[in-house]
Amino acid sequence: MNDVSIKMTPVLQNLVSLVSEGNCILFLGAGIHAPPPEDSPYRYPEEQRPLLGRNLAENLARKFCFDEEFSSESTYDLQRVSLFIETKRGLGRKTLVDNLDDLLRKEKKPSPALKMLSELPFKIMVTTNYDRLLESALVKQDKDPFSIVYDPNPDTPTRDMTEDPTVGRPLLFKMHGDLNHRESIVITDEDYITFVQRMLDKNAYNPVPQTVRFRMLRWPTLFIGYSLRDYNLRLLFRTLRWRVDTAEYPISYAVDREPDPLTLRVWQDERRIISFVIEDLWKFLPWLYKEVKGEKFPV
């Protein structure tokens, strides 16, 4: 299955043009580490993949006996399981981050899908992933990302680029932290509450770099590796564009094989904020790569 067939529509044509011109923000989630379907020509072995949300939560819950104290709660709730580990006597934040580092970074490698994205001309990339696989993929393309990691200290001005980001020197914002900056990780319920509160901070102290906030009001965003059913993601996206007339900013795109029907109805059909590309990312990305680069990504 080397030839990927996706019908070109006006919406997709517009997206291809924007990505080709470098005028589109990549917003990358953990789903980029999902395994390819069985009929895909690409391979991403399990031992190379960071654990995804539900599996990560279940692994941590099982290891630290979450259900012994909270038997009625879901072991798939990563925010709650993480909060349990952080506040459990004898465990704590260090134990939590040590285990994240082991499960998300040890012997992990970029997927072919991530490599495809690293070759495309994105000048601004935002990710909620803690791992450093995107950086690794970019460096292998001789790119020099300017990385900005979320700083939980409200008294420290947020770093930003002093020059405009370029394809060779893109801005990469690690919105929920980075495993190399252990204090930056946003993962528990309390971490998310603090982060959202910080979104109200003014100008230099807003946790999102001004360059990202400025461009998000003018460039479309391409969401890959997310389900927009995620309440935190929708809240974050709305906060970034709060008090801005919807007629003043461009529509964004979300690649989702099975979008939540209610989210699709509200965000696409009614409010026209997001245009959903209803495709598996392992089918969509090879197609996008070929349309932008003019050649197939090698298997």
Query: Residue 2: inside a domain, yes or no?
Result: no
What confidence score (pLDDT) does residue 148 get?
A: 97
Decide: 15 and 24 in contact? Cβ < 8 Å: yes
Residue-averaged pLDDT of the chain: 91
Q: Tell me: the pLDDT tens digits for 8-26?
A: 999 999 999 999 999 999 9
3-state secondary structure (DSSP) of residue 229: coil
Same domain, 59 and 144: no
Upper half-sphere CA count for residue 224 (Cβ side, 13 Å): 22
Same domain, 86 and 119: no
Classify strands 274-277 and 221-224 as parallel, antiparallel or unpaired.
Answer: unpaired
Same domain, 220 and 85: no
Q: Tell me: the pLDDT tens digits for 143-154?
A: 999 999 999 998
Instruction: Tell me the pLDDT band of 248, cut-offs 50, 70 and 90.
Output: low
Query: Residue 1: inside a domain, yes or no?
Result: no
3-state secondary structure (DSSP) of residue 292: helix
Same domain, 130 and 183: yes
Same domain, 66 and 120: no
First to last CA, the chain: 10
Query: Residue 46: inside a domain, yes or no?
Result: no
Instruction: Tell me the pLDDT band of 198, cut-offs 50, 70 and 90.
Output: confident
Rounded CA-CA distance 258/230 in Å is 13
Same domain, 135 and 174: yes
Same domain, 86 and 177: no
What confidence score (pLDDT) does residue 90 get?
A: 94
What confidence score (pLDDT) does residue 6 get?
A: 86
Cα distances (Å, whole numbers) of residue 252 to 57, 74, 219: 30, 32, 8
What's the whole-number mean pLDDT along residues 176-189?
95
pLDDT at 68 over 60: yes
What's the whole-number mean pLDDT along residues 119-128?
97
Question: What's the predicted TM-score (pTM) here?
Answer: 0.92
Query: Residue 188: inside a domain, yes or no?
Result: yes
Same domain, 135 and 208: yes
The number of domains in the chain is 2
Rounded CA-CA distance 124/98 in Å is 29
From 40-44, 197-201, 294-298, the region with the lowest mean pLDDT:
197-201
User: Containing domain of residue 216, as a range?
Assistant: 10-39+111-293
Rounded CA-CA distance 59/67 in Å is 12
From 13-17, 36-40, 160-164, 194-198, the region with the lowest mean pLDDT:
194-198
- Percent of the chain topping pLDDT 90: 75
What confidence score (pLDDT) does residue 1 get?
A: 43
What's the whole-number mean pLDDT along residues 45-66?
95
- 188-191: Cβ within 8 A, 24+ apart: 188/79, 188/82, 188/83, 188/86, 189/79, 189/80, 189/83, 190/83, 191/79, 191/152
Same domain, 76 and 141: no
Same domain, 271 and 132: yes
What's the whole-number mean pLDDT along residues 71-77?
93
Decide: 28 and 273 in contact? Cβ < 8 Å: no
For residue 159, the domain's CATH number is: 3.40.50.1220
